[in-house]
Amino acid sequence: MPKIYFSCLFLIAVFALDLHAKERFNDGPYLIYQQNDLLQFDIKQNHLTITPYQGPYSIPEHFSIAKKDTYNNVEKWAAISDIHGQVSIFITLLKNNKVIDAHHNWQFGQGHLIITGDIFDRGDTVTEALWLIYKLEQQAEKAGGKVHYLLGNHEYMVLRGDERYLHPKYVSTLNVMQKDLKSLFSANTVLGQWLRSKATIIKLNQLVFLHGGIHQDFIDLNLSLEQANQHFRNSIGLTKKEMLNNPTHIALHATTGPIWYRGYFRDAQLQQTDIQSILKALDAQRIVVGHTSFEQLETRYNNKVLAIDSSIKNGIKGELLMWQNQQFIRADMQGQHSSFFVE
């Protein structure tokens, strides 16, 4: 993908803000369009620097929406969820399980990496995680593989400006940059445009991947995955009040909607027959979700629901779910593999 270059010279604007902060911090880059220029905002030791963007990331003129939301015959894949600003655990899992190399570059070949949402909030290395995914996405494409970054409830919250779950570091970022959260990831930014191109639900090898879960209410909407993903994209940035004008948006963002639903683990009335009915409607064999946290990977409903939020958000450890050699594999921080379940 082409990079954006600048032919004119810019002055470097440096703002030394004395925040009287207890801890100095770094953050960035944030790439923001201003008129016809792409500017890079970096914070080093609480000082904001604004320069013309020179690299190293490849920035397309437009971020393309994936041409399809269903993928078949993928020989190997890895799935992870709810990283929540814990990039070191994310890197350790990917590196020790040979998805990336020691230099954090893609080495998974034609494999697919699926991230079922919630990169944002809680932890203090959200920006680093976003740019790592951004880079790996491009590297995977060149290798014949794929990175699927699916949006979770915290992505949608951030994109509409909800600051309640930010780590204090990012509150400081907003203060230094004199911006609110919604503008930091608006459609006038590189990361904001990139996020707006993402899907929320995909199907891969007859498995449906998403953040929260599929409730019968979603099935009753009678939407294809492509239609659902486009409705979700159209809802980005809307306030709850603005969503009231669109019944589909209301349903998608409800507590039984795909990014919020926790019923697989909390609804005592839900039966195996209910899960089978949902899977039949989706023409799928299993559903893979994050959102509801456990100490490790879990299964429910005779292995038809696979739960992959392994509490990475706590900053201690996590697990990957992998598919290799026709087996579901539990992959840990040390790169040790064990069978996830046997049928």
The 10 Å Cβ neighbour count of residue 36 is 8
Question: CB–CB of 114/79 below 8 Å?
Answer: yes
* pLDDT the model gives residue 23: 82
Q: What is the pLDDT of residues 189-231, one digit of tens each?
A: 999 999 999 999 999 999 999 999 999 999 999 999 999 999 9
In this prediction the pTM is 0.93
* pLDDT the model gives residue 22: 57
Q: Where are the domains of the chain?
A: 62-339
What is the C-alpha separation between 112 and 3, in angstroms, rounded? Answer: 25
The 10 Å Cβ neighbour count of residue 102 is 7
Below-50 pLDDT ranges, the chain = 1-21
Q: What is the pLDDT of residues 32-77, one digit of tens each?
A: 999 989 999 999 999 999 999 998 999 999 999 998 999 999 999 9
Strand ranges across the sheet with 305-307: 70-71, 202-204, 207-210, 286-289, 305-307, 298-300
The correct CATH number of 62-339 out of 3.30.420.40, 3.90.1170.50, 3.60.21.10, 3.40.30.10 is 3.60.21.10
